[in-house]
């Protein structure tokens, strides 16, 4: 993946999504995993929850509340993005307009897919998450500001916190790095590793059956 949009700072409207264990099947239902492109998934994010039959928006679904129009920060609960490895989920989150997700924990594959697409997944403790849900509810148009350089998050009501993130992932996001390019730069080491294992009986492959 090359040409990622670097992530430095982001301020945006927060949409609360008060569910634990949101799986990637809900984010991008199966029938949308049949495309061959990685764009255009924003309109189908949370499809089965977001739309009534006939594609009318479901007014009871939180992202359809007018007050969360153009939200770019998704506040949610534990184990976000569990289940299927489909990167379509991350593509849909980004294409919808979210640049940041805030949750107490994430499933591994989805968490990884976020970084590959320039989405910042912020991990905060349960108490803070609870407080953020309360603030979103209390303040119409509630926004959060994230500074990846400082690893900080703040609002207009005196909240100022820091979060932790792996140093390497942080640099990749800050610079929008092409991590395949980084790996390819280690060609000599990869070739040396391959040469060291050439005689393992187990790597050899016989003819393909037809």
Partner 1 sequence: MAPLTIYEKIWDAHVVRESPGEPPLIYIDRHLIHEATSPQAFAALEAAGRRVRRPDLTFAVMDHSVPTKNRHLPILDAEAATQFDALTCNCQTHGIGLFDLHNSRQGIVHVVGPELGMIHPGMTVVCGDSHTSTHGALGTLAFGIGTSEVEHVLATQCLPQFKSATMQINLTGTMPEGVTAKDIVLAVIGRIGIAAGTGRVFEYTGETIRALSMEGRMTICNMSIEGGARAGIVSPDETTFDYLEGRPFAPRGKDFLTAVEYWSTFASDPLASYERSVELDVSRLAPQVTWGTNPAMVTDVVACVPDPASYADPDERKAAERALDYMCLEPGTPMTDIALDTVFIGSCTNSRIEDLRVAARVVAGKRIARTVRQALVVPGSRWVKEEAEAEGLDRIFRDAGFEWRDSGCSMCIAINDDVLESGARCASTSNRNFEGRQGKGSRTHLVSPVMAAAAALEGHFVDVRGLETSR
Interaction site with partner 1 (CB under 8 A): 1-2, 19-21, 23, 25-26, 29-31, 33-38, 48, 77-79, 82-87, 90, 105-109, 112-113, 116-117, 166-168, 178-180, 182-184, 186, 189-190, 193-194, 200-206, 208-210
The answer to whether the CB of 74 falls within 8 A of the CB of 101 is yes
The answer to whether the CB of 148 falls within 8 A of the CB of 174 is yes
The answer to whether the CB of 127 falls within 8 A of the CB of 74 is no
20 vs 22: CA distance, rounded Å: 6
Q: Give 51's strand partners.
A: 57
97 vs 63: CA distance, rounded Å: 12
Closest Cα to residue 121, out of 143, 96, 103?
103
In the chain, how long is the greatest CA-to-CA distance?
A: 67
What letter does residue 104 receive in the DSSP assignment?
A: S
The answer to whether the CB of 160 falls within 8 A of the CB of 45 is no
In the complex with partner 1, which residue's Cβ is closer, 106 or 146? 106
The answer to whether the CB of 1 falls within 8 A of the CB of 58 is no
Q: Give 74's strand partners.
A: 15, 101
């Amino acid at each position: 993946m090359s040409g990622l949009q670097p992530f430095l700072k982001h301020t945006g409207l927060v949409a609360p999504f008060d569910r634990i264990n949101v799986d990637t099947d809900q984010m991008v239902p199966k029938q949308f995993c049949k495309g061959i492109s990685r764009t255009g998934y924003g309109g189908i994010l949370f499809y089965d929850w977001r739309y009534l039959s006939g594609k009318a928006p479901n007014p009871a679904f939180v992202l359809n509340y007018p007050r969360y129009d153009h939200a770019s920060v998704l506040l949610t609960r534990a184990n976000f993005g569990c289940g299927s490895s489909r990167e379509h989920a991350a593509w849909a989150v980004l294409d919808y307009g979210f640049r940041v997700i805030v949750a107490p924990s994430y499933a591994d594959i989805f968490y990884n897919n976020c970084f590959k697409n320039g989405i910042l997944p912020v991990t905060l403790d349960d108490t803070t998450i609870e407080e953020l849900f309360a603030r979103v509810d209390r303040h119409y148009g509630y926004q959060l500001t994230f500074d990846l350089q400082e690893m900080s998050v703040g609002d207009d009501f005196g909240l100022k916190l820091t979060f932790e993130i792996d140093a390497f992932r942080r640099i990749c996001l800050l610079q929008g790095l092409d991590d395949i390019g980084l790996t390819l730069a280690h060609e000599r080491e990869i070739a040396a590793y391959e040469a060291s294992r050439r005689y393992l009986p187990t790597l050899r492959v016989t003819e393909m059956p037809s």
